[in-house]
Structure 1
Amino acid sequence: MRILALAALVLMSGTAFAQDAAPAAGGAAPAANPSASTTARTPVETPQFIEQAGFSGTFEIESSKLALEKAERDDVKEFAQHMIDEHTANSEALTDAVAATGIEIAVPTVLDPVHQQMMDTLEASTDFDMDYLKMQYQAHQDAISLFSSYAEAGEAGPIKEYAAASLPALNMHLEMLPEDAKPE
């Protein structure tokens, strides 16, 4: 029951995860991939889903903390604070879902090399606000693909319920992004 309550919290809070999106050459944010949410993706196994979701959540929190420091626009700072609040709660919910399965895998709380490269790009950015927003857009497109795949074909149980409950929030985060962050 606790997992179902957490899944409801995730759904109501609008929390989501971002996933791998490598920055393009030259330090610019990655180009958007409009087909990311509609392209069929090979389902990931439970341990890989946990790992990818953990790295993604950590990236959301850390990149958004950086945005609070470096962003110039108020709407970017508001979005960043929203991401910190929601991803912190969601990381806890993922940890609880993993614990409920009895799987002995720790949810990552550090950045993997791909997300660290993205952070390095943001730290060096000369157009921080746009680079941050475009990375957020792409990361959410990737997350929709990851979570959809696991919600459809993952192992039944608390983690699959968690993935399914997170999908509406992923879409909401895309809608929350300022229009100039979205591809034309």
Structure 2
Amino acid sequence: MRKPLLAGAMALALLAPSYALAASWTKSGSSATSGSTGTMTRPNRVDATTQNFVDKAWNINNFEIQAGREAQNKANTQEFLDYARRIVRDHTNMDNELKPIVQQDRLNAPNALDKEHQNLLQQLSSMTGARFEERFRTQQIDGHEKAVKLFESYAKNGQNPELKRWAQSAVPTLENHLRDAKALPRGAQGTHAER
């Protein structure tokens, strides 16, 4: 009689850490009452501006990582390859810095790109050569112009102190990406524009 009870108890003990880890990434509408960790006692009330910023920032980072990888596979010129490598590296770093803030403050992060960024990626995947490079360049300029405005706005007006600091620290990187995207050669012409 004791063996089935013992086996059941051991199975529950093994499952508990996995369940706790999964639960720590989910967002619930109520505040946590457990006092076991400092972060679990935080109320889980997130203002709409903060959640909107997290959604957009996550989509920007993950789109840039995927677009950069696409460019590493398809770009023909060294300028594009170098730029793509920087994009992947910098946005991966930004994403890695965002994850612990999202987890600590019990925010929601998307698990897939939104329709807008999926469409942009689909455009890139359907092109090659000079057409690919020109589309990639245009997307990088448009995307980083929007990203700079978004991050500057949250850094100035946001309510979450950690996210404000993260947004502010990301602005110079985003501005550098924008500047470098404008300096990429236009299509097959190889001329530098919008310096």
One fold, TM greater than 0.5?
yes
Distance 1:114 1:123 in 2: 15
Gaps of 5+ in 2: 1-47, 187-192
Give the direction of change, closer, same or farther, for the CA distance of 1:99–1:137 in structure 2 (3 Å limit).
Answer: same
Aligned-pair distance for 1:183?
4.4
Residue type matched to 1:69 in 2? N
Which residue, 93, 104, 116 being the options, matches 2:107? 104
Distance 1:161 1:172 in 2: 18
> Percentage identity across aligned positions?
27
Q: Count how many residue pairs are aligned between Structure 1 and Structure 2.
A: 139
2:163 paired with 1:159? yes
> With structure 1 as the length reference, what TM-score do the two structures score?
0.70
Distance 1:109 1:150 in 2: 22
Q: Which runs of structure 2 are paired with 1:12-91 in the superposition (5 Å)? A: 45-91=49-95
1:141 alignment partner in structure 2: 145
Distance 1:46 1:159 in 2: 8
> Does the CA contact (< 8 Å) of 2:137 and 2:184 recur in 1?
no
Secondary structure of 1:45's partner?
Answer: helix
Aligned-pair distance for 1:168?
1.2
Distance 1:125 1:142 in 2: 24
2:115 paired with 1:113? yes
> With structure 2 as the length reference, what TM-score do the two structures score?
0.66
The alignment's C-alpha RMSD in Å is 1.8
> Does the CA contact (< 8 Å) of 2:151 and 2:168 recur in 1?
yes
Larger radius of gyration: 2
